[in-house]
């Protein structure tokens, strides 16, 4: 198995795996070293090395199958995929991987997070990210002094892994309403360096934008939603929301400035911009929604409504692109993108529709619901989401077309 994969990596000028282009690791030598350790006949590999190796290979092999790589003509990669999955699951459930701090264990847990996301298991995702965050802090990966005596290549791999865990933690903290495992004031580790190679640079520039978005999401949860630390004074909240909205606009501007000319896998990078649009507007909705509660009830500002609307429109634009590319199945799109996005934009459009009797909002809800038909039966969670959204859409449709008095407030 190792020889099969490294044979693909060696002539990497043809195509580097997307999975190894950025985030947790872009170092092909690291993957080869894991394989050498895992299959060594002279030295017994640790359970963390076994888990991380098979976790990484699981996603690499899965990508090879989806992309119909040349190796598919020579090997039955489905057998290798099942083999990697079986060993990975057995290894990641061990005490050592979950509790004992090490680079390999954190990498394995990160692969587990990705697998949990792909299987629509947000609770498992949070369990794994919490374990990984604890190990990162035990090893001092959040402090810059830790990297002073580590060779540069290894230090870069550690930085990537730490900041990947950080992104996942902050994103899920806001999404699930859980307190983050990282205290931002204690973090002074530098961001990973961006390579000069144009084939990789846009991927890593996007990775850095992911870190910046996670930092913004952390500020939203900490200052607006956390009961213990949220800003209570209305005028201070309003000022904070205004300042953070400006910061998010700047974030969006910087993302659009990334030059993708010469990048590896340009189609995938460009499609991922749709994912970022969904995430950006979903996060922006949560930001503006934090100012919606008033003494007289719920007030949906025009900013909150527009952000929610743009989030749903981003999905309507993004989903057909993935269907056409066939890089993700409809069920995988639901798990990777929709299930791990906030439900708040849909609720905001629903509330706006029934409060203003806006037929355009009902039409938007109906269009979004129609896309859910494609994956509603893929998983129990997707069927449940479909039923919830269908109920809200039906209620909105009936109320908007009835003569009942409107409820709620909408600030034009």
Output the pLDDT for position 307: 98
Give the pLDDT band (50/70/90) at residue 39. confident
| pLDDT tens per residue, range 162-179 | 999 999 999 999 999 999
Is the model's pLDDT at 337 over the cut of 70?
yes
- Angle (CA) 317 212 114, round 5°: 65
- Upper half-sphere CA count for residue 379 (Cβ side, 13 Å): 18
Whether 37 is covered by a domain: the verdict is yes
Whether 11 is covered by a domain: the verdict is no
**Residue 223: other Cβ atoms inside 10 A:** 17
| pLDDT tens per residue, range 269-306 | 999 999 999 999 999 999 999 986 555 556 889 999 99
**Residue 29: other Cβ atoms inside 10 A:** 11
Whether 382 is covered by a domain: the verdict is no
Q: Residues 6 or more apart from 335 whose CB is under 8 A from it?
A: 117, 118, 119, 120, 379, 382
Q: Are residues 354 and 361 in contact, defined by beta-carbon separation less than 8 angstroms?
A: no
Whether 336 is covered by a domain: the verdict is no
Q: Name the pTM for this structure.
A: 0.91
Tell me how many domains the chain contains: 1
| Two structure tokens written together for 330 | 């409809």
**Domain range for 137:** 17-182
Whether 353 is covered by a domain: the verdict is no
Q: What is the percent of the chain with per-residue pLDDT over 70, rounded to a whole number?
A: 92
Starting from the edge strand earliest in sequence, which strands make up the sheet with 293-294, in order?
A: 293-294, 297-301, 409-411
Whether 128 is covered by a domain: the verdict is yes
- Write the CA distances from 221 to 130, 228, 293, 400, integer angstroms: 17, 11, 16, 33
Give the pLDDT band (50/70/90) at residue 6. very low
What's the rounded Cα separation, in Å, for the pair 54 and 43? 18
Torsion of CA 159, 189, 215, 200, to 10 degrees: -40
Whether 6 is covered by a domain: the verdict is no
Is the model's pLDDT at 51 over the cut of 80?
yes
What's the rounded Cα separation, in Å, for the pair 209 and 191? 11
């Amino acid at each position: 198995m190792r020889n099969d994969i490294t044979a693909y990596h060696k002539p990497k000028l043809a195509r580097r795996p997307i999975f190894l282009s950025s985030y947790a690791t872009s170092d092909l030598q690291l993957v080869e070293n894991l394989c050498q350790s895992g299959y060594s006949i002279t030295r017994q590999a640790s359970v963390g090395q076994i888990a991380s190796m098979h976790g990484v290979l699981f996603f690499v092999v899965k990508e090879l199958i989806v992309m119909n790589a040349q190796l598919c003509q020579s090997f039955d990669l489905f057998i290798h995929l099942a083999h990697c999955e079986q060993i990975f699951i057995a290894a990641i459930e061990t005490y050592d991987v979950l509790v004992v701090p090490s680079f390999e264990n954190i990498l394995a847990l990160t692969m587990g997070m990705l697998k949990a996301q792909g299987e629509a298991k947000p609770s498992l995702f949070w369990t794994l990210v919490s374990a990984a965050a604890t190990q990162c802090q035990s090893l001092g990966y959040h402090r810059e002094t830790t990297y002073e005596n580590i060779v540069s290549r290894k230090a870069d791999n550690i930085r990537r892994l730490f900041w990947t865990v950080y992104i996942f933690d902050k994103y899920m903290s806001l999404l699930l309403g859980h307190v983050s495992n990282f205290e931002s004031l204690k973090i002074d580790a530098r961001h990973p360096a961006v390579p000069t190679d144009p084939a990789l640079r846009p991927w890593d520039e996007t990775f850095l934008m992911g870190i910046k978005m996670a930092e913004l999401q952390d500020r939203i949860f900490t200052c607006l939603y956390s009961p213990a630390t949220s800003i209570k004074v209305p005028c201070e909240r309003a000022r904070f929301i205004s300042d953070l909205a400006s910061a998010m606009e700047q974030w969006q501007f910087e993302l659009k400035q990334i030059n993708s000319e010469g990048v590896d896998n340009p189609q995938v990078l460009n499609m991922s911009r749709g994912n970022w649009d969904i995430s950006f507007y979903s996060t922006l909705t949560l930001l503006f929604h934090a100012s919606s509660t008033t003494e007289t009830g719920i007030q949906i500002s025009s900013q909150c409504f527009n952000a929610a609307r743009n989030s749903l429109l981003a999905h309507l634009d993004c989903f057909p692109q993935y269907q056409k590319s066939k890089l993700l199945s409809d069920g995988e799109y639901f798990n990777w993108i929709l299930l791990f996005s906030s439900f708040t934009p849909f609720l905001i459009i629903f509330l706006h529709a029934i409060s203003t009797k806006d037929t355009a909002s009902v039409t938007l809800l109906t269009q979004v619901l129609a896309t859910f038909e494609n994956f509603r039966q893929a998983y129990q969670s997707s069927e449940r989401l479909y039923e919830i959204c269908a109920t809200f859409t039906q209620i909105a449709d009936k109320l908007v077309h009835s003569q009942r008095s409107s409820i709620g407030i909408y600030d034009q």
